[in-house]
């Protein structure tokens, strides 16, 4: 079949192109512009080459923020993925319980991020917050505004509360799509509960779990609003993750050049990790 050539079709792409240009390409190019130059205002720029990149990549401050970020993301992935799968496995499969559970699970996902931060801030306050006050009453020396361990604990707990539901919902959808015959065959084959999970449920959930891990990686790696409202990155720099540190540098100190270079490095890390991870997970998919 011959395809007709009609260059006028490009006209239809223009609206999308304009939209993408204004919300992605132009801002990104502005950042690139800042990353290679120095400015003191008045639209006067001086070429700096790769200086800001070298400065960021060699700075202890960036290393520390990156380290905190990686640690945070690993912790929440190791908690949320298994916990999400576990909750999805224990959720009812039919009846009124299904809707009740699904609504309850969706609730945290519907709350705006800064509200989540504010809620947990008040909830965890050591003197008046329910969590903070109870912990202290039970004899724990808990104060997330002053002790970095407590700040981490609270931030992780908040993120688990906020986002585990997403993993639950995705896993649940994956589990529901498994044909009953698989469970029946496993029952007849004498498979243990663990075997059913390991050889039927987990492989069938592979695709949704890949999506869940990717989404949770990206969101947690770029987390900003909730810890900003909860701890503001403190105490000290204890919970200053990459994005919080970036905003401090760009808007607090107005170091636009280094901040722009850091943005690009940050962006590149997220992109690379997602690409590598996705390709690893999907490596064997071509066969089936």
- What token pair was written down for 155? 């931030």
Q: Which is nearer to another protein, 89 or 191 (CB)?
A: 191
Task: Tell me if 202 sits within 8 A of 214, measured CB to CB.
Answer: no
- Residue 195 lies near another protein (rule: CB under 8 A): yes
Nearest to 158 by CA among 70, 266, 75, 71: 75
Among 6, 42, 43, 192, binds another protein (CB under 8 A): 192
d(CA 93, CA 201): 14
- What token pair was written down for 121? 């801030």
- Residue 279 lies near another protein (rule: CB under 8 A): no
In the complex, the smallest distance separating the C-beta of residue 183 from another protein, rounded to whole angstroms, is: 9
Task: Tell me if 236 sits within 8 A of 242, measured CB to CB.
Answer: no
- Residue 288 lies near another protein (rule: CB under 8 A): yes
Among 88, 105, 166, 200, binds another protein (CB under 8 A): 200
Preceding amide of 129 cis, omega within 30? no
Q: What Rg, from alpha-carbon coordinates, does the chain have?
A: 24
- Residue 184 lies near another protein (rule: CB under 8 A): yes
Angle between helices 96-110 and 148-176 (to 10 degrees): 140
Among 185, 276, 280, 282, binds another protein (CB under 8 A): 185
Size of the site for another protein (CB under 8 A): 19
In the complex, the smallest distance separating the C-beta of residue 288 from another protein, rounded to whole angstroms, is: 4
Q: Which is nearer to another protein, 7 or 287 (CB)?
A: 287
Among 188, 193, 194, 279, binds another protein (CB under 8 A): 188
Q: Which is nearer to another protein, 50 or 179 (CB)?
A: 179
d(CA 81, CA 166): 10
- Residue 177 lies near another protein (rule: CB under 8 A): no
d(CA 253, CA 249): 5
| Binding residues vs another protein (CB under 8 A) | 179, 181-182, 184-185, 187-192, 195, 199-200, 203-204, 284, 287-288
């Amino acid at each position: 079949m011959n395809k007709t050539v009609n260059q006028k079709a490009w006209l239809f792409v223009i609206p999308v192109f304009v939209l993408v240009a204004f919300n992605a390409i132009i801002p990104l190019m502005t950042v690139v512009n800042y990353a290679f130059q120095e400015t003191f205002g008045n639209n006067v720029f001086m070429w700096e080459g790769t200086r800001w990149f070298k400065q960021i990549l060699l700075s202890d401050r960036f290393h520390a923020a990156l380290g905190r970020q990686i640690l945070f993301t690993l912790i929440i992935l190791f908690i949320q993925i298994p916990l999400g799968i576990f909750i999805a496995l224990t959720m009812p499969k039919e009846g009124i319980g299904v809707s009740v559970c699904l609504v309850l699970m969706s609730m945290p996902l519907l709350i705006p991020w800064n509200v989540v931060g504010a809620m947990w801030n008040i909830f965890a306050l050591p003197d008046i917050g329910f969590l903070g006050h109870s912990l202290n009453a039970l004899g724990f020396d808990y104060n997330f505004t002053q002790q970095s361990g407590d700040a981490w604990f609270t931030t992780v707990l908040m993120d688990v509360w906020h986002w585990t539901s997403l993993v639950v919902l995705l896993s649940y959808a994956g589990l529901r799509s498994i044909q009953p015959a698989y469970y029946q065959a496993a029952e007849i084959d004498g498979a243990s509960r663990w075997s059913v999970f390991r050889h039927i449920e987990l492989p069938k959930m592979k695709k949704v779990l890949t999506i869940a891990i990717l989404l949770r990686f990206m969101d947690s790696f770029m987390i900003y609003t909730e810890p900003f409202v909860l701890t503001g990155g403190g105490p000290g720099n204890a919970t200053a993750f990459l994005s919080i540190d970036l905003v401090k540098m760009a808007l607090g100190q107005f170091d636009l050049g280094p901040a722009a270079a850091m943005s690009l490095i940050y962006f590149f890390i997220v992109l690379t990790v997602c690409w590598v991870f996705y390709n690893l997970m999907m490596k064997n998919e071509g066969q089936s």
